[in-house]
Structure 1
Amino acid sequence: MERTPAGPRRRVAVVEDGELVEMHFDTTARRALVGNIYKGKVETVLPGMGAAFVNVGEKKALFLSEHEINDPLLTAKRFEPRKGHAPIQEVLRSGDAVVIQVRREGVGKKNPQGTTKISLPGRYWVYLPTEDRVGISRRAGDRDTATRLRQVAYELKGQKEGLIGRTAAFGAPREDLERDFRHLQAMWKEVQKLAENASPPRLLHEPLDLTRTLIRDRFLE
């Protein structure tokens, strides 16, 4: 840990065979919210802005745009996803409970932004439990690698869930890819279980911090 003008900063070094190969920095001056998943309560719906504010128990409510409403919510309100426009006032009402994730920190007086399109990053995949799609990192080394990874993704995922292949997935054994996927699926099921019994506002999930992410990505088999 070191002191900087911006506040405390954590340094994490990766050493291999006695040599420094990577150095990572993580600012800890304030608690980050991005990636957190909550069961929130809709405070206000603003049709003119096409948005709502959702109380998640933090200092500021999350700003939720109508473009960040997931397909299951739209379907539940009898809207066909990706077919026309769904006014937010017809999808959400003040007092509604909603599972929401922080997608962007608040800056200055602006509220943090939320989304109901949940994403859970793992070592090899980003799991999308509410979106039916597959994506591959743009850093794919070649077309054959990307095609193979895309095929694995379609074989693993169900009809109403999605996967994005991360760079680390290129060349990874099939069993490792499946293990990571099953882990993320189980993580989402735990979030759902907590949400069923929780009264909003309630924190349901926090992502790994820098140190634990590095341990997962580099050292855990």
Structure 2
Amino acid sequence: MILFVPQLKAAPVSSMLPVLYPPPPFLIPRWPKGQIKDEACWSDKEYCTTTKNWYCFSKTEAESEAFEFAKRTGLDVVTVCPTLILGPLLQPAVNASSLVLIKLLKEGYDSLENKHRSIVDVRDVAQALLLVYEKPEAEGRYICTAHSIRARDLVDKLRSIFPNYNYPKSFIEVGEEDMLTSEKLQKLGWSYRPLEETLVDSVESYRKAGILD
């Protein structure tokens, strides 16, 4: 999605992926280990191609090219980089983000890695997009994330609200993971709804669409 008025401002939606994969330790410069990632962190395109992470490469290339285009033309480009987007569906088809939650409800995994999930509601992403577009002081990139939660805790929360689904049976512990901050976006005036509201509205919309039958 892009909000755009010729010769004024463009506000494209990017992704967390152009933020998550900075140069690895053997490349300089690199992101300090353990430091929370903010808008200054860019995924390394060469590393993405070496590891064949083509989706991340394409997202990083698209966002960086948007800023290069802005430099050449004078267009004011501001990007929003959301994490995993959940919330009620507008369309009957299941998208990749919603599938993450649907699989937690239906698949009945024997085991699942206890990874962090950084979640934001689709309605809050829409609010962020309007905010950066309308605020004259908005500039550069804005990470858009609301809740960071481990898979086990997410399943426990879902089970407490919706007990009758086929949840993962066990979890495999993993090491420390990179964290993101949306402090810059919040300073612009952005706020987000509670995680429980997002989960309830998501599941109810899946039920209504017959996805969980």
Q: What is the TM-score normalised by the length of structure 1?
A: 0.29
More strand by share: 1
**Greater relative contact order structure (CA < 8 Å, 6+ sep):** 2
TM-score w.r.t. structure 2 length? 0.30
Report which of the two structures shows the higher radius of gyration computed on alpha carbons: 1
